[in-house]
Structure 1
Amino acid sequence: MATHAMEKVYSGNGTVRLHRAGDVTDPDAFRERRRTRRKRLTEYLADGRAETRYFPVLSVLAPVMTQSEGEITYPGDPMCLYTALSLAVHRAVADAGPLADAEHYTDLAPEWTRFPSKKYRLSAGDDGYRAYGTAPNTDRTVFDPRVWDDTARDLWVRLLREVRPRVVLISAVSPAHRYALQIAELAKREVPEAFVILGGRHVDETTTATPDGQALLLKPSSPLAVMQEGKVPRVVDAVISGEAYHAVDLLMRALALATDLDRTWVDRDQVLPCLQGLLAEEGPGAGSSLVVLAAGDALDAVPLRGGALDLATLPSPYQAFAIRSRFPIFTHPETGDVLRTAHFMVSNACPYRCNFCSESAQLSNGLKRFKDDAIGTAVQRVCEYLGYGAESLFFDDSVFWSGRYRDIGDFCEELSRIRSTPPTELDARYRRFLTHEDDIERLHGLQWGAQLTVDTLVALHSAEESHAILRKMKEAGCSYVYIGIESMSTQVMTHIHKNLRRDERKPWREKVREAAALVKAHGLQLGTSVLFGLDGENRSSIDETIHEVGRLIDDKLIDLASPNILTYHPATPVTRAHGMQDRLDYHSPRIDNRKPYIYFEEAFPDVVSVLLTEDDIWHIHHETQHRWGGARNDAAPVPVEAGTE
């Protein structure tokens, strides 16, 4: 079943074949293949030649290069991985059981057969580790090491030898990319026939197709580029970029159909025909994504362009996985115990256009939100997470409800309403998740936090409007607000898109103080992020920022201040502006990971701002430690051991 392809040669070594989604020369042959396989598998199961129709699969979140003990924003649950897997896992679990009843995984299927029980969810630890065991639930199929060290390597190797996965799915941001490649390399060493898929934000930023789908665009740090150019071993069989929900499901089903029924390993020659056959029958699903299959020197790229994506139509990320994260910012009022914290998003990108940020909607196929009945769906999901054992929530949206006060207000009013409603009178859509008395107690004691911006609080709305919305947030259980200060220097903030509606009579630092005062007036804790190394930065602006943030801490307007160093991401405008687009190395197995870089998340030499010297970074570390004191979010990180890079 050959597909028509247009050959394109990219800037690396090798040939790229661009395929039109669903372009199959003989669709009847594909349908016959499916019928024949299903009949054969039914016979195998009936006479005992096959013990099961499920094949083992492992999913991995590649950790970033350092681990900060006590970091409030990390470690957290691997939501990028959970979200990407949500649809595929949901459909696989729905098809578990009699083969005759399966609708999506219609013969062999990944070993995603049952969701975690409530007892399992409530007993899950917060260290990321879990045992695969026999007949695993969906949560047990995830490897989440949190830090890549000798212990994690040994555990990964042991897991590979125990499970012998047919498919390994890995998600990685750019600072974790080199570790993702090492994870893949170990998978290939221990299980040579395993089919390895790589996705996540690094792939999203480095591997795309042109809008017309006629060319594949690979940045120099793309995993495909560095493999084709021989800079790293060819340890990845496919990458998925973009809005990958339906793409992951389609590729997993194609791999199931391409798996030899006798050997139960993926036949790589059949993956593309099976993928195209499914696309011809069903279409690509909602969203815009890209699947690229890597086979030797050739890359087979299939751009998938479906309709507009409504995030509310997707299964919730925690349906298949336990909530393990615990944020020290949320504690039990009586015992002081840190609460089990679920991550929550109602949008997938940031409406701002800051040139240093990879979360901008400009880099994410546009801003996608909950659409139809957004408020009711969001509150229903809150109840779902409470039923899974969540005691607190953190809204990971870059800006809570995209900064729209009407939506924030409506959400808080509905959440407040159900918190005050007797359990027996709750709407059925909420009550079905709150099945035990403990669930109701978690609803009444719920704490949550969200991210806002200075402009959302003081530039885009009046003080009266902001007071009203913060009051509603507090009444609905909000106890924590997080804002990005970035810098307190006017010469830096003139370059940043966050500083909207500039007024020479009110410099940025005064707007920050006003926003902080608004939040604290309602008794909410305030966390802040500061970013050094932006355009306009010098030693004077660094000292100005450290001093002004220190004044806010002295005045008890900030509870937490997190110092960060600008690091370059492959697709951000600042990377191009600073001439770093061809110089980023996210793949070499060894890096010079040393102090002072290890004191800052994601920072290591050669990817930090060219405007900062190493002496500047030492200065930032020492001065923020001294000036900000206990408000600095900085427990000492555990450095990577020598020789383990």
Structure 2
Amino acid sequence: MRIALIYPAFGVVSVVNQPNIKAVADNYGIYPNISLAYVAGALQKAGHELIFLDGMASGYSLNDMAERVIKFRPDIMMFTVTTYLFHETARVIGYFREKWPAKVIVGGQHVTLFPKETLLKKVIDIGIVGEAEKSIIEVLGKIEKKKSLKTVKGICYRENKKIVLTEPREKIKDLDSIPFPARNLLPMSKYYSFISKYRNYTILMSSRGCTFQCTFCEQRSGDIRYRSAKNVADEMEECYYRYKVREIDVFDPLFTINKKRVIEICMEIQKRKIRIAWSCRSRVDTIDEEMLIEMKKAGCYRIYFGIESGDEQILRNIKKFTKKQQIRKAIYLTKKHRILAFGYFMFGNPGETRQSIRNTINLAKSLPLDYAQFNRLSTLPGTTMYEELKSEMGYDYWREYVKDRGVEHPLPRLRCGMSDKELNRWIKKAYMEFYFRPSFVLRTLSRVQSLPELERYVKAGISMIKN
């Protein structure tokens, strides 16, 4: 079958219930849609004919993309759907449906959370519930043979004007069996993050799931599944030689959760002499010096730490349960081995006060961090924090929002009386205090390796001052 995978450019659409202030959202970077690329990889392996349109990376307007769709004449159009941008995405899908009458299939965590509500939009024909790589192949097989979809696990669809939700599909146990993302369809030279230093740049997932129970995080799954060290290194090697990638961002929720596996991956990279810069995400309590030594030797040059708060009561409130001593130790060890350290922080947590925010800013400034990001807490669907808030409110805001954009309003925060406006002021204050220290500015400029990198920093700084 002929399938168009479409990833339109939205830009910064709305700030309601989103975590970033505008200056951050505007300068975040251009990332590949790796989940859609994984689906494309599975479709390629199955022999389907594909086109992948990335509006943000390629700079295509909706009209540009529609012209390419019409020329390609697909049987199926596929989109990723998120809860934040559900109504914007539905509008865009409707635009493409007007231009070309193909069936529409959507996927993403949003569909897993709100399958039937998603299908209320008549422009959507089928939703993939859960992981898509196997479901989509079965769905297309049924469509090709004009057979019923009722035996396909993990989907929702419309039949005789009724929305049908099939039985759940089990998670894929052998992640090594999943084809690599179809990067041959992507404009690889266009991707970057705000702080990436090398091109080409891409994202890699070496595991799925997280066993920690942070109340604010939608990634917690109670289990974790790993790819083998060999399989991860195989993909890195393909990225390096086939796609000229020189920087990889390992997007696992928690890459450092299994020390033995991390060291195995690092040893495999070293054995193959893959000269690629990479970064990853970590908690401060899942990393040690032995791991850092091997990561550095294997090319790791930046670690993103979920620090969240500088107040230990707040950390207990969100079930992070880390200590400031652990935070300091992890960051200092990281810097000792000449790896850049990035700290994520959130304001608006349960029990948050102006003093706890001040404690967080002071902690961030006291650490030898190379980067810091400050966000408003956003109560995401699928988190235990949202379940508690839902119980407190007496209704499911996100479910109602998916059904009707008209109910959109700023969500209250658990045990935190500060408004978005006040939190935004604190966030801007945190950024200004952290990044505009003269010593920090000089240190940052000394590390700049290219003119585009310098331009990104200057643009972000001006945006922060203006907004």
TM-score for the superposition, normalised by structure 1: 0.61
CA distance in 2: counterparts of 1:551 and 1:197, whole angstroms = 49
3-state SS of the aligned residue for 2:56? Answer: coil
State how far apart, in whole Å, the 1-side matches of 2:155 and 2:307 are: 37
Give the equivalent residue in structure 2 for 1:291: 155
Candidates 70, 75, 79, aligned match of 1:166: 75
Structure 1 residues 359-380: Cα deviation after superposition (integer angstroms, max 9, x where no partner): 1114xxx42222xxx1222212
Tell me the distance in 1 between the aligned counterparts of 2:291 and 2:373.
Answer: 25
Q: Structure 1: which amino acid aligns with 2:155? A: V
Q: 1:311 to 1:73 in 2, by over 3 A?
A: farther
Out of 102, 108, 111, the position equivalent to 1:200 is: 108
Cα pair distance change 1:615/1:342, threshold 3 Å: closer
1:625 aligns with 2:431: yes
Cα distance between partner residues in 2 of 1:174 and 1:549: 31
Aligned-partner Cα distance in 2 for 1:72–1:481: 20
Picking from 288, 301, 312, the partner of 1:479 is 301
Which of 411, 415, 419 is the aligned partner of 1:613? Answer: 419
Residue 636 and residue 178 in structure 1: after superposition, are their counterparts in 2 closer, same or farther (change >3 A)?
Answer: farther
- Partners of 1:361 and 1:90 lie apart in 2 by 28
Quickly say closer, same or farther: Cα 1:69–1:529, change in 2 above 3 A.
Answer: closer
2:239 pairs with 1:385:
yes
Asked whether the 8 Å contact 2:315–2:321 carries over to 1, the reply is yes
State the SS of the aligned residue for 1:354.
coil
SS in 1 for 2:302: strand
- Counterpart in the other structure of 1:468: 290
Q: Paired residue for 1:353, among 213, 220, 240?
A: 213
Provide the residue aligned with 2:49 in structure 1: 111
Is the contact made by 1:69 and 1:637 (CA closer than 8 Å) also made in structure 2?
Answer: no
Question: Given the superposition, is the C-alpha separation of residues 307 and 173 from structure 1 closer, same or farther in structure 2, using an over 3 Å criterion?
Answer: closer
Q: Is 1:583 aligned to 2:397, yes or no?
A: yes
Shift in Å at residue 480 of structure 1? Answer: 0.8
RMSD value, Cα: 3.0
CA distance in 1, matches of 2:176, 2:84: 30
Shift in Å, 1:64:
5.9
**1:410 to partner: Cα distance:** 1.7
Cα shift at 1:306: 5.2
Instruction: Tell me if 1:635 matches 2:456.
Output: no
How far is 1:349 from its partner? 1.5
1:254 paired residue among 119, 138, 142 = 142
Structure 1's 70 and 326: CA in aligned 2 closer, same or farther, altered over 3 A?
farther
- Give the match for residue 416 of structure 1: 270
Q: 1:528 to 1:64 in 2, by over 3 A?
A: farther
| Offset of residue 485 of structure 1 | 0.7
Distance (Å, rounded) in 2 between the aligned partners of 1:301 and 1:450 = 36
Helix, strand or coil for the counterpart of 1:146?
helix
Deviation at 1:448, TM superposition (A): 0.9
Match of 2:226 in 1: 369
Equivalents in 2 of 1:492, 1:307: separation in Å?
33
Distance in structure 2 (CA, Å) of the matches to 1:86 and 1:355: 33
Task: From the CA coordinates, give the structure whose radius of gyration is larger.
Answer: 1
Query: For the structure 1 residues 349 and 73, does the alpha-carbon distance in structure 2 shift closer, same or farther, using more than 3 Å as the test?
Result: farther
Mark the CA change 1:380 to 1:450 in structure 2 (over 3 Å): closer, same or farther.
Answer: same
In structure 2, C-alpha distance between the alignment counterparts of 1:637 and 1:292, rounded to whole Å: 46
Residue 6 of structure 2 is matched in structure 1 by 60
Give, in angstroms, the shift of residue 620 of structure 1: 1.9
Residue 27 of structure 2 contacts residue 460 of structure 2 at CA under 8 Å; is this kept in 1? Answer: no
Give the 3 Å change call, closer, same or farther, for CA 354–74 of structure 1 in structure 2.
farther
CA offset digits 1:469-510 (Å, max 9, x no partner): 11111111111111111111122111233325xxxxxxx223
Whether the aligned pair in 1 keeps the contact of 2:126 and 2:156 (CA below 8 Å) is yes
Contact 2:40/2:182 (CA < 8 Å) preserved in 1?
Answer: no
Q: Does 1:545 align with 2:360?
A: yes
Match runs of 1:105-254 below 5 Å: 110-112=48-50, 141-146=51-56, 152-191=61-100, 193-207=101-115, 222-224=117-119, 227=120, 233-254=121-142
| Match status 1:453 vs 2:300 | no
Partner of 2:38: 83
Alignment of 1:23-38 (within 5 A): none
Work out whether residues 528 and 560 of structure 1, in 8 Å CA contact, stay in contact via their aligned partners in 2. Answer: yes
Matched, 1:301 2:168: no
More helix per residue: 1 or 2? 2
Question: In the superposition, relative to structure 1, how do residues 353 and 64 fare at CA in structure 2: closer, same or farther (>3 Å)?
Answer: farther
**1:575 Cα deviation from its structure 2 partner:** 1.0
Opposite residue 545 of structure 1, the aligned amino acid is T
State percent identity of aligned pairs. Answer: 19
Q: Give, in whole Å, the separation in 1 of the partners of 2:327 and 2:11.
A: 32
**2:140 is paired with a residue of what secondary structure?**
helix
Cα distance in 2, alignment partners of residues 637 and 251 from structure 1: 49
Deviations 1:501-540 (A, max 9, x none): xxxxxxx223212211010011111111111222111222
Give 2:373's aligned residue: 562
2:12·2:26 contact (CA, 8 Å) conserved in 1? no
Aligned equivalents of 1:616, 1:550: Cα separation in 2: 21
Is the 8 Å Cα contact of residues 330 and 447 (structure 1) preserved in structure 2? no
Question: How does 1:481-496 map onto structure 2 within 5 Å?
Answer: 481-496=303-318
Quote the Cα distance in structure 1 between the aligned partners of 2:170 and 2:429: 51
Q: Which runs of 5 or more structure 1 residues have no equivalent in the other structure?
A: 1-54, 93-109, 113-140, 208-217, 228-232, 259-269, 332-337, 420-442, 458-465, 501-507, 593-604, 639-645
Q: What is the identity, as a one-letter code, of the residue corresponding to 1:223?
A: T
The whole-number CA distance in structure 1 between the counterparts of 2:160 and 2:424 is 45
Is residue 203 of structure 2 the alignment partner of residue 326 of structure 1? no
Going from structure 1 to structure 2, the CA distance change for 1:65 and 1:329 (only over 3 Å counts) comes to closer
Query: Aligned partner of 2:237: which letter?
Result: C
1:71 positional shift: 7.0
Q: Please report how far the alpha carbon of residue 296 of structure 1 lies from its aligned counterpart in structure 2 after TM superposition.
A: 5.7
Could you tell which deviates more after superposition, 197-206 or 152-161?
152-161
Cα offsets for 1:445-477 (capped at 9, x unmatched): x111111111113xxxxxxxx112111111111
Amino acid at match of 1:396: F
Question: Compared with structure 1, are the counterparts of its residues 471 and 565 closer, same or farther at alpha carbon in structure 2 (3 Å cutoff)?
Answer: same
Partner Cα distance (1:88, 1:344) in 2: 19
Q: Relative to 1, partners in 2 of residues 1:238 and 1:167: Cα closer, same or farther, differing over 3 Å? A: same
- In the other structure, the counterpart of 1:317 is 181
List per-residue Cα deviations over 1:235-283 (Å, max 9, x = no partner): 111111112211011112222223xxxxxxxxxxx5x2xx46xx6xxxx
Q: Does 1:339 align with 2:339?
A: no
Name the counterpart of 1:126.
none
Aligned residues: 425
Structure-2-length-normalised TM-score: 0.82
